Amino acid sequence: MADPVLETFDLTRRFGDLIAVDRLTLQVGSAELFGLLGPNGAGKTTTIKMLTTLLPPSSGRAVVAGHDVAREPTATRRAIGYVPQLISVDAQVTGYENLWVFARLYRIPREERDARIRDSLKFMGLSNVADELVRNYSGGMIRRLEIAQAMMHRPRVLFMDEPTVGLDPIARDAVWEQIELVRKTYGTSVVLTTHYMEEADRLCDRVGILHRGRLRALDSPAALKASLGTPGATLEDAFLHYAGEEVELSGSYRETGRTRRAAVRLE
């Protein structure tokens, strides 16, 4: 890859004896939409946490937007946006007020803040609920507000951990549309985790399949499907092939979905 925006070199994280992420080496390009796939416990969240400076690597390294995440955490943070798996907005205040807090945090000059916030809300299709309390938002609206929040400072890389888990299909489509729009409008590289194989197939330029901390496959969805040599193979087939047949898709993800739905109900 000519000019990667993100590179990892043998990135590793241990928790005691467990190797949660095992010598991960990959690159993500400018404006690329990259999907990290893997069953529960594969190491997706741990990877995202290392790339967003929230968790120090045990060994290896990662460079994001030209910054070594371990040595230059502050510069890294300025260059990235992060939408965590659990709700990251305040339900007790309005959408506008949530973005105001982040506009201050990101030091957007006071005289520009209102316009930037209004723009962001409009961009995410949330203008009409800007002054509503977030506790009255649907799960899909909350996700879009979180994306707006993470994009306030126009980062070069946007990280999202399970952005569509627990959303109904219509809300999921709306979130994906916004992700596409962010990428097209700002040229942002997007790194996300998902377990919706059809979405990943339709929307990701490339996907990496993680299993027990190891990267088992890394390519475009089309190439991964073709690599099976079975006509009509789906990305789910490829996922099961590379992540191991013992993975039971619906079962292993039910837990995550429940967590998210429970979180959406929280106030």
Ligand X SMILES: Nc1ncnc2c1ncn2[C@@H]1O[C@H](COP(=O)(O)OP(=O)(O)O)[C@@H](O)[C@H]1O
Q: Shortest Cβ distance from residue 210 to ligand X (Å)?
A: 7
Q: Nearest Cα to 170, choosing from 207, 147, 143? A: 143
Nearer to ligand X, 152 or 235 (CB): 235
CA distance linking residue 100 with residue 104, whole number of Å: 6
Nearer to ligand X, 42 or 145 (CB): 42
Q: Facing residues of 68 across strands?
A: 63
Nearer to ligand X, 49 or 153 (CB): 49
Give rounded-to-5 percent helix, strand, coil for the chain: 45, 25, 35
From the list Mg ion, ligand X, none, partner contacted by residue 60 (C-beta under 5 to 8 A by kind): none
What tokens were used for 264? 């959406």
What tokens were used for 64? 């994001």
From the list ligand X, Mg ion, none, partner contacted by residue 120 (C-beta under 5 to 8 A by kind): none
Q: Please, what is the Cα angle at 251 between 233 and 165, to 5 degrees?
A: 85
Residue 1: C-alpha distances to residues 6, 7, 28, 44, 180 (Å): 11, 10, 8, 22, 22
Q: What x-and-dash track marks residues 18-47 binding Mg ion by CB under 5 A?
A: --------------------------xx--
From the list ligand X, Mg ion, none, partner contacted by residue 43 (C-beta under 5 to 8 A by kind): ligand X
CA distance linking residue 179 with residue 211, whole number of Å: 25
Q: Shortest Cβ distance from residue 108 to Mg ion (Å)?
A: 30
Q: In sequence order, what are the residues at sequence separation of 6 or more whose Cβ sits closer than 8 angstroms to the Cβ of residue 254? A: none
From the list ligand X, Mg ion, none, partner contacted by residue 126 (C-beta under 5 to 8 A by kind): none
Q: Shortest Cβ distance from residue 20 to Mg ion (Å)?
A: 10
From the list ligand X, Mg ion, none, partner contacted by residue 38 (C-beta under 5 to 8 A by kind): ligand X
Footprint of ligand X on this chain (CB under 6 A)?
A: 15, 18, 20, 38, 40-46
Q: Shortest Cβ distance from residue 105 to ligand X (Å)?
A: 25
Number of residues that bind Mg ion (CB under 5 A): 2
Nearer to ligand X, 135 or 254 (CB): 254
Nearer to ligand X, 137 or 159 (CB): 159
Q: Helix (H, G, I), strand (E, B), or coil: what is residue 227?
A: helix
E-assigned strand segments in 120-254: 157-161, 189-193, 206-211, 214-219
Under the rule (CB under 5 A), what is the footprint of Mg ion? 44-45
